[in-house]
């Protein structure tokens, strides 16, 4: 379809990173590493609550060309923001020391050093086809690509096993939380590093365990469309953190460590003294149940029922958690009306992207309906991508 934008090939991504590196620093990098963005099929705002979520890695990746230095100097250039160049030292890459893309790109160096990995200075050039600010985890893709590179160049590769990748994912979460100042959970980094091609990643955020869930949409005659509404999306502006704080306070009032420990939702809601907190808790507990039900329906091939769960997830995020927006609601409503089996926002919300599960034969009609609806409402024209369950981060050159 004309509206559907494709991911770069691995060869194109590697070339783009190497080219930027050569122009900025001269010579050649020691290698190129790549890590993907993600979409979450269901299970939103459950990760920092210790619940279940079900992301897939996208074919859209961030590429990092990296060269080790023998001093503590760091040079970073981004092809994401008009070729911005940052020059500093390892000591600058710390909480309250850097911000913006520099924090996401350099934060993993600080986290690895905090974990005892002897990271030296480095030069890095980053390019990406993960849409920025679209709720598709472009920040985690940068962190994980650079983290993979720095760990390997320090002689401690963290890609040899799922346990290694889980360790690196945790360090990248720490970098995002403490260096970039974004209070996110661990879903994004887990998807970027621990996902496998052709599968969704069932992640239990309480203990970090995962199960690979086969997801052959093409064989089922289905397609997953990602609708980037191109509306503003930021997780460091307080709204995301407020909801996390609300959930943590509710758990404390209810005498549980995390909200998934609630077994009697009706009694729990009755014990809370304000409606907003009740709605936040209701979303989290019911969303975790929807993840388990979605996996059951997907494994049974009952995609109509899986689509209903997606719809229920969006409605809960819109009404109870209040993290949707006009652009997301218009896209979701249009996709459903045009025949999508299910549609929902994905990611942290307040802008960003929606996803629609559609039959192959309906894909063009759904995409056009979404574009038409945005045009009729005077909204920014969305971009539409195809989500294919892809592999996690790796060295590509």
Tens of pLDDT, residue by residue over 360-386, are 999 999 999 999 999 999 999 999 998
**Helix-helix angle 138-153:100-114, to 10 degrees:** 40
CA distance 24 to 86: 11
Are the C-beta atoms of residues 7 and 163 closer than 8 Å to each other?
no
What's the burial of 167, exposed, middle or buried (CB within 10 Å: 0-12/13-18/19+)? middle
Max Cα distance, the chain (Å): 65
Identify the sign of the CA torsion 379, 383, 389, 392.
Answer: negative
pLDDT of residue 366: 98
Per-residue pLDDT at 155 exceeds 70: yes
Average pLDDT, the chain: 95
Per-residue pLDDT at 131 exceeds 90: no
Question: 150-164, 180-194, 221-235, 249-263 — which is least confidently predicted?
Answer: 221-235
Bridge partner list, 64: 33, 126
CA distance 224 to 56: 11
More confident site: 134 or 393: 393
Ramachandran area for residue 90 (φ above 0: left; ψ -120 to 50: alpha; else beta) = alpha
CA distance 283 to 6: 33
pLDDT of residue 4: 46
Length of the chain: 397
Mean pLDDT for the stretch of residues 104-110: 98
CA distance 329 to 377: 12
The candidate with the shortest Cα–Cα distance to 47, out of 156, 160, 186, is 186
φ/ψ of residue 61, rounded to 5? -130, 155
pLDDT of residue 83: 67
Query: Residue 235: pLDDT band by 50, 70, 90 thresholds?
Result: low
Query: Residue 96: pLDDT band by 50, 70, 90 thresholds?
Result: very high
pLDDT of residue 175: 98
Query: Residue 231: pLDDT band by 50, 70, 90 thresholds?
Result: confident
Residues annotated as part of the active site: 188
Note the pLDDT tens digit of each residue in 53-77: 999 999 999 999 999 999 999 999 9
Query: Residue 2: pLDDT band by 50, 70, 90 thresholds?
Result: very low
* Reported pTM: 0.94
Per-residue pLDDT at 86 exceeds 60: yes
CA distance 247 to 241: 10
Are the C-beta atoms of residues 355 and 227 closer than 8 Å to each other?
yes
Per-residue pLDDT at 212 exceeds 60: yes
Three-state SS annotation for the chain:
CCCEECCCCHHHHHHHHHHHHHHHHCCCCCEEEEEEEEEECCCCCCHHHCCEECEEEEEEEEEEEEEECCCCEEEEEECCCCCCEEEEEHHHCCCCCCCHHHHHHHHHHHHHHHCCCCCCCEEEEEEECCCCCCCCCHHHHHHHHHHHHHHHHCCCCCCCCHHHHHHHHHHHHHHHHHHCCCCCCCHHHHHHHHCCCCEEEEEECCCCCEEEEECCCCCCCEEEEEEECCCCCCCCCCHHHHHHHHHHHHHHHHCCCCHHHCCCHHHHHHHCCCHHHHHHHHHHHHHHHHHHHHHHHHHHCCHHHHHHHHHHHHHHHHHCCCCCCHHHHHHHHHHHHCCCCEEEEECCCCCCEEEEEEEHHHHHHHHHHHHHHHHHCCCCCCEEEEECCECCCEECC
């Amino acid at each position: 379809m004309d509206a559907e934008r494709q991911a770069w090939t691995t060869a194109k991504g590697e070339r783009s990173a190497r080219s930027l590196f050569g122009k900025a620093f001269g010579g050649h990098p020691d290698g190129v590493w790549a890590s993907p963005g993600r979409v979450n099929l269901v299970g939103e705002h459950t990760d920092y609550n210790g619940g279940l979520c079900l992301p897939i890695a996208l074919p859209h990746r961030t590429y990092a060309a990296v060269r080790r230095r023998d001093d503590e100097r760091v040079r970073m250039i981004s092809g994401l923001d008009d070729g911005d160049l940052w020059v500093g030292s390892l000591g600058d890459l710390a909480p309250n020391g850097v911000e913006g893309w520099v924090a996401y790109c350099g934060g993993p160096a600080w986290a690895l050093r905090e974990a005892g990995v002897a990271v030296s200075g480095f030069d890095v050039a980053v390019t990406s086809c993960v849409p920025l600010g679209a709720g598709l985890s472009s920040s985690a893709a940068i962190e994980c690509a650079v983290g993979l590179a720095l760990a390997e160049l320090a002689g401690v590769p963290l890609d040899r096993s799922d346990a290694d990748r889980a360790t690196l994912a945790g360090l990248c979460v720490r970098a995002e939380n403490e260096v970039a100042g974004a209070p996110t959970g661990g879903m994004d980094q887990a998807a970027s590093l621990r996902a496998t091609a052709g599968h969704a990643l069932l992640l239990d955020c309480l203990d970090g365990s995962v199960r690979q869930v086969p997801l052959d949409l093409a064989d089922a005659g289905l397609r997953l469309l990602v609708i980037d509404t191109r509306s503003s999306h930021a997780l460091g502006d307080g709204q995301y953190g407020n909801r996390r704080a609300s959930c943590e306070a509710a758990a404390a009032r209810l005498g549980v460590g995390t909200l998934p420990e609630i077994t009697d939702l009706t009694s729990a809601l009755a014990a809370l003294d304000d409606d907003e907190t009740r709605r936040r808790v209701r979303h989290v507990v019911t969303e975790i149940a929807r993840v388990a039900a979605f996996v059951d329906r997907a494994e049974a091939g009952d995609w109509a029922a899986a689509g209903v769960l997606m719809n229920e997830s969006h409605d809960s995020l819109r009404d109870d958690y209040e993290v949707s927006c006009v652009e997301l609601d218009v896209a979701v409503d249009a996709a459903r009306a045009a025949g999508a089996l299910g549609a929902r926002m994905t990611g942290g919300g307040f802008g960003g992207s929606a996803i629609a599960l559609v039959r192959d034969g309906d894909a063009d009609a759904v995409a056009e309906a979404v574009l038409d609806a945005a045009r009729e409402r005077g909204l920014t024209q969305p971009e539409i991508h195809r989500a294919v369950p892809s592999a996690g981060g790796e060295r590509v050159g």
